[in-house]
Amino acid sequence: MWSKFEKTVMIKRIIDEASIKRFKDIVDSVSHIVITCHKTADGDAMGSSLALCKVLRKMGKNATVIVPDQLPLSLSFMTKGFDYVTFSRNEVMAGNIIRNTQLIMSLDYNEMDRVGQSMKTLLVGAKVPKILIDHHLNPSKEFDVMISHPELSSTSELIYRLLDESGWLDYVDQQVASSLFIGIMTDTGNLSFSSSYPEVYHVMGKLMEYGIDKPYLYKMSMDTVPLNSLKLQSYALLNKMTIIDDSFALITLDKADLATYNYKTGDTERLVNKPLSVKNIHWSTFMREDPNCIKVSMRSEGDFAVDELCTRYFNGGGHMHAAAGEFYGSMQEAVELYYKIVEEVKNQNKQTI
Ligand code: 5GP
Ligand code: MN
């Protein structure tokens, strides 16, 4: 129906020309490229990585996506027919690929710590150019070329712009467009977050012109969960959520809870967002007892910034309204620290009233 409308919208150029030139020159000069994203990849990390990899392969490059650990099951529909390497499962093979590559690209993360220690050691040790393509604040100085745009909705949007500004849109096909569309959709909460300014809609419109199946992509990436995940999340909300002063929510899941519901990576995705649908709850925290640490995720609304809290207390970071980090200690200690932070937040609020 919409295809009869004219395709007139121009997307503004925002990446500086020197970075585009360096990016293209480096890609032109190599044949073997490794694309990496952060641990527990999400729709944006995987969408941007797959899309860029497919474009580079179409250009004749030997490009490989290496993800640090097992992908959430919810993303497996994206990777059908696409070969990629999972570092934690194939350390030897991944190590060989990294040792033989001529270029490393880091997508959707801002510091090497985000890929985990053993993969980080290999990436840092590789004496090849490293290009960062990312939308998180405060990129570290570990990269040779930085295409860092924290003002953008997603790395997938940035990849679209990078392809556009590099003159590479001819390599985009329906699969590439679908991957980027999923990345933007999932990182913007289907365009509901404040990070969705008008041009995001234009970029998504451009991607729709490649004939993507929007209802299918939405259903698969935003509205499909395994039954055990639905049960685990329901249990968490019913039995493991504490509300403080009617305005802050804390959910905790320990090892025993996770085992009871046969937890797999990705099963708690978006759980931390759920308390925010209650009026007056503007700050939500979720703590999960992982094998090596307590994973802490925070979400907020309005003026309340959670990235600073995650950086200061949980060795993490992220965005103003969606951030996360890790706590090294017991769940009880993590919860105690949380209550200290709550007291601090309440005192600060008192001072500003
Ligand atoms: P999530 O709660 O979905 O795991 O993560 C929310 C946001 O925080 C994402 O933007 C993600 O990139 C960022 N994030 C997640 N874990 C970490 C971490 O361990 N360190 C940092 N710096 N950021 C993280
Ligand atoms: Mn992202």
Q: Average pLDDT in the 236-258 region?
A: 98
With a 6 Å cutoff on the Cβ, whether 297 touches ligand 1 is yes
Question: Residue 337 belongs to what H/E stretch?
Answer: helix 331-352
What is the predicted pLDDT for the residue at 220? 96
**Facing residues of 241 across strands?**
251
* DSSP state letters, 77-128: TTSTT---EETTT-HHHHHHHHHH-SEEEEES-SSGGGG-HHHHHHHHH--S
pLDDT of 353 above 60: no
| Closest atom, ligand 1, to C-alpha of 113 | 20
CA 261 to CA 259: how far, in whole Å?
5
Query: pTM for this one?
Result: 0.90
- Nearest ligand atom owner, CA of 183: 2
With a 6 Å cutoff on the Cβ, whether 49 touches ligand 1 is no
With a 6 Å cutoff on the Cβ, whether 72 touches ligand 1 is no
pLDDT tens-digit map of 275-307: 999 999 999 999 999 999 999 999 999 999 999
CA 298 to CA 286: how far, in whole Å?
6
CA dihedral 45, 189, 270, 337 (to 10 degrees): 90
Closest to 186 in 3D by CA, of 161, 225, 156, 227: 156
Pair of tokens at residue 61: 């490059």
What is the predicted pLDDT for the residue at 9? 81
Q: State percent of the chain over pLDDT 70.
A: 97
pLDDT tens-digit map of 308-325: 999 999 999 998 999 999
Distance 187 CA to ligand 2 centre (A): 6
Closest to 167 in 3D by CA, of 51, 62, 20: 20
Residue type, 244: I
**Facing residues of 10 across strands?**
none
| Those residues with Cβ within 8 angstroms of residue 125's Cβ, 6 or more apart along the chain or in another chain | none
- Which residue's entry shows tokens 């329906």? 174
| Those residues with Cβ within 8 angstroms of residue 2's Cβ, 6 or more apart along the chain or in another chain | 208
Q: Which domains does the chain have, with CATH numbers?
A: 7-222 (3.90.1640.10), 227-348 (3.10.310.30)
With a 6 Å cutoff on the Cβ, whether 290 touches ligand 1 is no
